[in-house]
Structure formats: structure tokens, C-alpha cells
Amino acid sequence: QVQLVESGGGLVQAGGSLRLSCAASGRSFSSYGMGWFRQAPGKEREFVAAISRTGGATYYADSVKGRFTISRDNPKNTVYLQMNNLKPDDTAVYYCAAANRIITLQQHEYMYWGQGTQVTVSS
């Protein structure tokens, strides 16, 4: 089993940057594909980014491509989401998740979820 704890959220002005971290506890972190999702008020949770077990492959939602970067440090059991040029539409609770897959974009394939961290972007 894997426990995930996100951190790094906060309030930032449009155009600013934040770096989210997700620390994993448990065994075999490197055996999980990792992802970031977000849920804005009144909206369904949506895919943001995913990274493969080794970090060699990444996928991004079109809305964040070119602005967000997902990465992982397996010895530190941590996955990151660097968010640049933030927009008010990026305001949401951000969740990291772990899947027993090499890499996946599908929410239902993620077995473990963090509690989320709030990101608020002011205009």
C-alpha cells in the first residue's frame, strides 16, 4: 500500500509559479506510475499530468502543456509538478495518485490518492 501527501499549494498571482510535491510512503514507489489530477469548484476531477515508473515518459493535458512539468525522484519517493505561467483557470485542488501501471491517464486505474493541496491563482 502507498500513502501520498501533497504539499506546495498556495495563493499566487497570474503568471506566477508554484512547485507541488507529493511524498510517498510505503514500498516500491518506483513500481508505480504517478499522476497529478485537479478538481475545480463545481467541476469534475480532471487529468493534469502523468509520469512513468522510471520517469522516462510523461503525458500532459492540453491545457497545461508547455507550462507544467511533472518529474519524480525515486530514491526520495517523491513526485513533483512544476507549474509556470499560472492562470486563474488553474485554480483547483491538486491531487497526486499512484497506479499499478507503467503510465496511465485514466483516473480509474489509479489506486492510491493523496488528500489534495489547494492552488489559487488570482487575476
Give the pairing type, strands 92-99 and 33-39. antiparallel
On the question of pLDDT at 23 being above 80, the answer is yes
Between CA 12 and CA 69, with CA 42 as vertex, the angle to 5 degrees is: 45
> Which percentage of the chain shows pLDDT scores above 90?
97
Reported as a single tens digit per residue, the pLDDT across 86-115 is 999 999 999 999 999 999 999 999 999 999
Residue 12: exposure state from Cβ atoms within 10 A (0-12, 13-18, ≥19) = middle
Looking at the chain, the whole-number percentage of residues with pLDDT higher than 70 is 100
Q: Which residues contact 77 (CB under 8 A, 6 or more apart)?
A: 23, 24, 25, 29
Contact 37, 51 (CB under 8 A): no
8-state DSSP, 77? T
Model confidence band, residue 118 (pLDDT cutoffs 50, 70, 90): very high
For 65, list phi and psi in degrees, rounded to 5. -60, 130
Say whether pLDDT at 26 is over 90.
Answer: no
Residue 27 in this model has a pLDDT that exceeds 90: no
Backbone angles phi, psi at 17, to 5 degrees: -130, 150
Confidence (pLDDT) at 3? 95
